[in-house]
Structure 1
Amino acid sequence: MRFIDSHCHLDFSEFDDDRAQRIANAHALGVTHFVVPGISVAQSHHLIQFTQNLPNTYVSAGLHPYFLAQHHDSHVCELADLIAQHSDTFVAVGECGIDRHVENLATQQSLFEAQIAIANEYELPLIVHHRQSHDLIAASFKRCPPKFGGVIHAFSGSTQVAQSYIKAGFRLGVGGTITYSRAHKTKEALRSIGAEHLLLETDAPSMPLYGYQGEINTPERIPQVFRALVECLGESDHEALSELLYLNCLAFLRK
């Protein structure tokens, strides 16, 4: 079986001491490629060199809502210019979105919609971050409809919410959340929509799986996320499911 980690921050400092070994370990478990999202203009610049040094990585460019205090008005134009100059490097716009745990929701929403417009201009998918903000994201999608879909990172929510994203052209990122017994609503949503709309992810070094709380998360855990999804969906043909998820990610990346 082969896998792609569709969302991991391999460039973060948590991996500075053992990045190559972590990647080698993941490869040994069938994880062939990694998608590393951008979170700021400066870090998105850095990812250009990062992916050149690690050719098994795909990168995106974005302004993450969690780091709102670091973003300035000029950064939207800088992000657009960066993507225009390196259109052969960036596979998506994001990580972008709205997070209710961060202040200034109106500013977040404006920044998110600006990035939707950039994605539309450069014909790229979006990598969307949400936290207690499905309603605000829906409002942004209504005002500024995304034309090229994307992925809802670390999806958690109801069947109705899942279906609304799929209708808008998005796939759903499935990560460590489903390894927790409390994720009843999310598991039910995943069962109801089918694997053709799903991608695997870890969000490494964040979002540890059940049993690994307090530890750094890594792409090596993708097979465990996969096994949790197999159990959730009740799939018997593991090879076929892994291949479907792999091809879903390539379709999202247009590779």
Structure 2
Amino acid sequence: MIDSHCHLDLLASKVDLHVSLESAKAAGVTRIMAPSINPPSWKALQALSEQYGSILPIDTALGLHPYFLTDSNQNSQASTTDAHEQGISESLERLEAAAANLHLSVKAVGETGIDGHINVPFTLQKRVLHAHLKLADAISLPVILHHRKSHHLLLEALKQARYQGVGVVHAFSGSVEAAKAYIERGFYLGIGGTITYERARKTRDTLKYLLENHFDKILLETDAPDMPMYGRQGVPNEPQYLSDVVDVMHELFAVSPDQTTSITTENYLRLFNAA
């Protein structure tokens, strides 16, 4: 199994990362993608990739998560609109500079996207997303997209940016129609802990469609340390629990764990050009 979305730097603040990664390896996890959230996380994740790569290969991504855009300029405490805009611009410049001198672990651009549940103006989120899409196209890396109540906005942004690349919509929980729209644009869909909850009927229905028609567009993920699996609420989510997703897919749709593991691993390696 490959965990296509795990915030290792955030997980490291909650658990012993060495123990967690050894447990993940013992559970059958063979690789991890660690997306970033802000400039300080880029080097932190790259350092973790070097430190723990002997346990599991750790891929990383360069991005500015929409949730953290209100604090994008880590070197400024300024609160005025002009100063904040300058901070965003500086962060985007740092993103381009980091992309011009890629660390060996970097396989994607992100996490970026649009979130409809946060107090960050859509105009700002769209501006930053557009910059990520432009960069991903320029350096030929896939993009990792975040969504919450924003599928229509994301699809609109991809069209407006004339994005030519590929990517993954992480923690996908949309309709069959939304899934089709992303797949038509060459995107993959990340499936995680949401499907372990019985109340997630829409997501389960969409997953059924994907398994029957687009198995080659599915990735597995935990989003650790967040998005706990059913029955594991109250403790940090970890990569070792990725098998819960595989088990639920087997229970609901009679897809063998070996088939799920094999196909999603191939999908990941193809998308991120990883070896």
| Residue 68 (structure 1) aligns with | 69
Residue 150 (structure 2) pairs with residue 149 (structure 1): no
Q: Which runs of 4+ in 1 moved over 6 A?
A: none
Offset of 1:87 from its aligned partner?
5.5
State the alpha-carbon separation in 1 of the partners of residues 98 and 137 from structure 2.
15
State the alpha-carbon separation in 2 of the partners of residues 240 and 100 from structure 1.
35
Matches within 5 A, 1:15-164: 15=13, 17-55=15-53, 56-71=57-72, 72-86=88-102, 88-103=104-119, 104-164=121-181
Equivalent residue for 1:225, pick from 234, 238, 245: 245
Offset of 1:63 from its aligned partner?
0.3
Offset of 1:240 from its aligned partner?
2.2
Q: Which runs of 5+ in 2 are unaligned?
A: 73-87
Offset of 1:23 from its aligned partner?
0.5
Q: Identity percentage over the alignment? A: 37
State the alpha-carbon separation in 2 of the partners of residues 50 and 21 from structure 1.
14
In the superposition, the TM-score normalised over structure 1's length comes to 0.95
Alpha-carbon contact 2:107-2:142 (below 8 Å) kept: yes
Alpha-carbon contact 1:163-1:193 (below 8 Å) kept: no
Offset of 1:48 from its aligned partner?
2.1
Partner amino acid for 1:36?
A: A
Equivalent residue for 2:221, pick from 201, 204, 219: 201
Deviations 1:11-68 (A, max 9, x none): 1155464110010011001101111001111211222222111222100010000111
Could you tell which deviates more after superposition, 68-77 or 104-113? 68-77
| Residue 12 (structure 1) aligns with | 10
State the alpha-carbon separation in 1 of the partners of residues 68 and 273 from structure 2.
28
State the alpha-carbon separation in 2 of the partners of residues 172 and 229 from structure 1.
15
State the alpha-carbon separation in 2 of the partners of residues 82 and 47 from structure 1.
13
Partner amino acid for 1:227?
A: D
State the alpha-carbon separation in 2 of the partners of residues 12 and 231 from structure 1.
31
State the alpha-carbon separation in 2 of the partners of residues 219 and 105 from structure 1.
32
Could you tell which deviates more after superposition, 202-211 or 183-192? 183-192
Residue 236 (structure 2) pairs with residue 238 (structure 1): no
Compute the RMSD of aligned alpha carbons.
Answer: 1.4
Partner amino acid for 2:113?
A: G
User: What is the aligned residue count?
Assistant: 252
Partner amino acid for 1:39?
A: I
SS at match of 2:147: strand
Offset of 1:227 from its aligned partner?
0.8
| Residue 79 (structure 2) aligns with | none
